[in-house]
Structure 1
Amino acid sequence: MFSSFVCIPRAISFQSITSHSSSKSEKAQRIDHHFRKIHRSVNMESLQNRYLFAEIFMRESEYAERNPNARLIKLGIGDTTEPIPDIITSAMAEQALALSIAQGYKGYGPEQGNRELKRAIAETFYKDMQVKENEIFVSDGAQCDISRVQMLLDSSLSIAVQDPTFPAYIDSSVIVGRGGTFKAESGKYKKIVYMKCGAENNFFPNLSTTPRTDLIFFCSPNNPTGSAASRQQLKQLVEFAKENGSIIIYDAAYAAYISDESPRSIFEIPGAKEVAIEISSFSKFAGFTGVRLGWTVVPEELLYANGYPIIKDYDRIVCTCFNGASNIVQAGGLACLSPQGFQALKRTMRNYMENAKILVDTFESLGLKVYGGKNGPYVWVHFPGLSSWQVFNQILERAAIVTVPGIGFGPGGEGYIRLSAFGHRDSVLEASRRLRMLL
């Protein structure tokens, strides 16, 4: 079944493409820059190639140019596709129209977010967890908050990440100087601890063999594997952080998709407020990928070694580097968390998870090992003996389907591909048909 995947008709090297034209203006630029005294950041130089999803977009664009009549199905980047419910867009439209009259006009809001929205986030997602309104910082999205947290914490601190993991944790760590040199033979940065999270250990790291680090990035449900950590596993993680004096940076962007008894927040675990920061987002459960809204919880109990509250420094970072999320978008966020809005969003999420089941069933029927698709909108498929870029290229070239190669999420992703369930139903069904024919 897999023999057709071994050879690639057109292998594409995973590196940036640079122009070598030599116009007069470019020659002048090359001469002029020798007189400049500002050197490129060694941290930026340490970054490997281009950002994963930019690389995928480049390959997708090249394929589209060579095959202008192909109907490309995009199951790669986790971008939502279903329309935002009217009750939510109406709230944003109303807020926008109010800006045109004196009585409705608003300028700057609190950098930390609208108080009513913060209260709604606390009541919806952190009921009975003692998360206070002032511990919630509303933002323009989880990925931006990952970088703000990086700015908050000293660049000398050591870090651990799940392997495989969302690449922004590693890339942003490298940018602030925590990565060290990149080792091509291992595909790892020297200073980063990679916690193997594969099928063999139920997608949870062996903490008994994990070295102590200052920071631990942890995502549940995990991107890319779609696996959600159990309550017992998160208790182990919190205890591990307490014993080592570490801080967990917990990404809960997909928590709304959890369908079993797995915790939806790290703060469901006793003692987590002493060791964790939680980052979350409206992007994936509310379809706000282009609207941009998220939040971060920094508990008052979380302290530096000298006893100073970390929340005070995070508040300073937010006030210095961010003027607050858009008033219009926050109105939409509040509508998302209304009873009617949240019910409408649950219907959309069910639709995506039904897509995930279709993809899981498709690959399982072909005899492949498939993970995820139950507590998160990602499907993680193993192709033993093959490189993930090989599989990516073959599925793109021969089925016109965009996926994500597992190696893009770290060495632990080699041999896997990730598919997103964020597609229209007809596209997912067509992808299923093509994959059955291809494999």
Structure 2
Amino acid sequence: MIRPNKYYSELKDSYLFYNIAQKTKAYVEQHPGTKLLRMGIGDVSLPLCDAVIRALHEAVDDQASKSSFHGYMPECGASFLREKIAEHYEKRGVSLSADEVFVSSGASDELGDILDLFERSSSALVIEPAYPAYVDANVMAGRKIVHLSSSEENNFLPEPGEDIKADLLYICSPNNPTGAVFSREQLQAWVDFANENGSVILFDAAYEAFIEDETLPHSIFELDGAKTCAIEICSLSKTAGFTGTRLGYTVIPKALKRNGMNLNEMWIRNRTTKTNGVSYIIQKGGAAVFTEEGQRQIHENIQIYKRNAKILMKALDQIGIWYCGGKNAPYIWMRCPKGMKSWEFFDYLLHKIQVVGTPGEGFGAAGEGYFRFSTFGSPEDTKEAAERIVTLFSK
């Protein structure tokens, strides 16, 4: 008899965002006609920029002609996109070859797939609060997880310590959910730690485009020694609105080796075995993101989300609630008022003012007592949500 993967039984009963969806669905059914303001799930609300749309249309037309038709694409990504991404890194002082860049269907997929490179016996360190998929993907793989808690005391940016023993190190900066961003000095400490201990950093850079403080690193490869200890996983979902289009990329330097094996070469073997590549049409749209016009247009959209953040931060300042994030990230991480638990606060906002956010407890035990707001909603909904929050806590 076939035996299923027993580690699935160790997962939590349901995914965080599924729980949120079920609670909001039940509320709407009981209160038909109510206007909910959804500030929880980090999905974008603005459409793809004009440069991308134009490229997508051109790519569709290419598929209508025998002379320009494309079938299977290279499993690791089309050269025209890999080269543009490498050029993008060069502008930030990071030298990469195009064959160190791998095109993917999105960061979420890649964060799970990349675990194929490492033995099940390797342990994974997760800095919490954390994106739940980091933990769940490793639970599914039967891997030991080391939970490193962060807090207000260290601004949710913990440092490596001698007591930490882990093979894989998950670092997300700007962080989801806290919005905290590692400084160069703080991130360098993790790079040094990884090289000294033979660990590999899985660096989630999905939100790097939201960094406006240029003293902060956008890529881990801006740090000395990172090419011998890090893999960077990036996404166009929040950067360019590709949540419904699905495109990302992963950087694995050729210098990254462990136990005589080259992880870049291993990933080529993995991709050429397990994928048939991302579609030509989507990759052409992605390449438009890295043009001068595309960069200007996506940053115009990002500024709209950042203005949403300022509106929410102003509201929290007005009612005296502690928070972090917002300035260099699309998330605001606030302390629940009146000593409320995070799911208690979720229900309180839902029932009192019909505002939906994300309970911090869903991001790990260190998130209990905190709450996350996403700034990806429309400016109109964000303004109304901020007004409702101020009114509620000014009574």
TM range (shorter): over 0.9
170, 174, 194: which is aligned to 2:135? 170
Which segment is superposed worse, 248-257 or 378-387? 378-387
> What residue in structure 2 maps to residue 137 of structure 1?
102
> What residue in structure 1 maps to residue 148 of structure 2?
195
Q: Is the 8 A contact 2:159 2:186 kept in 1?
A: no
Paired with 1:353 and 1:344, the residues of 2 have a C-alpha distance of 14
67, 75, 78: which is aligned to 1:103? 67
Which segment is superposed worse, 86-95 or 374-383? 86-95
By how many angstroms is 1:310 displaced?
Answer: 1.0
202, 221, 236: which is aligned to 2:189? 236
Paired with 1:151 and 1:59, the residues of 2 have a C-alpha distance of 35
Q: Is the 8 A contact 1:151 1:176 kept in 2?
A: no
> What residue in structure 2 maps to residue 409 of structure 1?
363
279, 295, 309: which is aligned to 1:356? 309
Matched AA of 2:385:
A
220, 240, 249: which is aligned to 1:286? 240
Paired with 2:161 and 2:243, the residues of 1 have a C-alpha distance of 37
> What residue in structure 2 maps to residue 70 of structure 1?
34
Paired with 1:55 and 1:258, the residues of 2 have a C-alpha distance of 30
Paired with 1:347 and 1:129, the residues of 2 have a C-alpha distance of 24
Q: Is the 8 A contact 2:50 2:297 kept in 1?
A: no
Q: Is the 8 A contact 1:88 1:335 kept in 2?
A: yes
237, 248, 269: which is aligned to 2:201? 248
> What residue in structure 2 maps to residue 32 of structure 1?
none
By how many angstroms is 1:202 displaced?
Answer: 2.2
Q: Determine whether 1:161 maps to 2:113.
A: no
Q: Which stretches of structure 1, 4 residues or longer, exceed 3 Å deviation after superposition?
A: none
Q: Is the 8 A contact 2:157 2:181 kept in 1?
A: no
By how many angstroms is 1:43 displaced?
Answer: 0.8
Is the alpha carbon distance of 1:210 and 1:66 closer, same or farther for their aligned partners in structure 2, counting shifts above 3 Å?
farther
By how many angstroms is 1:55 displaced?
Answer: 1.5
Matched AA of 2:230:
A
Matched AA of 2:133:
A
Paired with 2:208 and 2:222, the residues of 1 have a C-alpha distance of 12
Paired with 1:209 and 1:382, the residues of 2 have a C-alpha distance of 30
Paired with 1:202 and 1:195, the residues of 2 have a C-alpha distance of 14
> What residue in structure 1 maps to residue 230 of structure 2?
276
271, 280, 285: which is aligned to 1:327? 280
Specify every segment of 5 or more residues in structure 1 that has no aligned partner in the other structure, as ranges: 1-36, 179-190
Matched AA of 2:233:
I
By how many angstroms is 1:125 displaced?
Answer: 2.9
Paired with 2:60 and 2:52, the residues of 1 have a C-alpha distance of 13
Q: Is the 8 A contact 2:171 2:203 kept in 1?
A: yes
Paired with 1:126 and 1:383, the residues of 2 have a C-alpha distance of 42
Q: Deviation per CA, 1:3-59, whole angstroms, max 9, x where unpaired? A: xxxxxxxxxxxxxxxxxxxxxxxxxxxxxxxxxx23432110010111111121111
Q: Is the 8 A contact 1:75 1:403 kept in 2?
A: yes
Q: Is the 8 A contact 2:159 2:190 kept in 1?
A: no
Q: Determine whether 1:119 maps to 2:83.
A: yes
Paired with 1:281 and 1:140, the residues of 2 have a C-alpha distance of 9
TM-score by length of 2: 0.97
Paired with 2:3 and 2:23, the residues of 1 have a C-alpha distance of 31
* 1:30-109 → structure 2 map (5 Å cutoff): 37-109=1-73
Q: Percent same amino acid at aligned positions?
A: 41
Residue aligned with 2:44, SS: coil
By how many angstroms is 1:118 displaced?
Answer: 0.8
Matched AA of 2:107:
A
TM-score by length of 1: 0.87
Q: Is the 8 A contact 1:275 1:302 kept in 2?
A: yes
Matched AA of 2:42:
G
> What residue in structure 2 maps to residue 344 of structure 1?
297
Paired with 2:227 and 2:268, the residues of 1 have a C-alpha distance of 17
Q: Is the 8 A contact 2:231 2:252 kept in 1?
A: yes
Paired with 2:281 and 2:129, the residues of 1 have a C-alpha distance of 36
CA RMSD of the aligned region, Å?
1.1
383, 394, 400: which is aligned to 2:354? 400
Matched AA of 2:283:
Q
Residue aligned with 1:177, SS: coil
Q: Deviation per CA, 1:222-248, whole angstroms, max 9, x where unpaired? A: 000001100000110001111111000
* 1:298-317 → structure 2 map (5 Å cutoff): 298-305=252-259, 307-317=260-270
Residue aligned with 2:257, SS: coil
By how many angstroms is 1:210 displaced?
Answer: 4.2
Paired with 1:258 and 1:47, the residues of 2 have a C-alpha distance of 33
Residue aligned with 1:131, SS: coil
> What residue in structure 1 maps to residue 210 of structure 2?
257
Q: Is the 8 A contact 2:173 2:182 kept in 1?
A: yes
Q: Is the 8 A contact 1:196 1:204 kept in 2?
A: no
Q: Is the 8 A contact 1:159 1:193 kept in 2?
A: yes
By how many angstroms is 1:68 displaced?
Answer: 1.5
Paired with 2:3 and 2:76, the residues of 1 have a C-alpha distance of 35
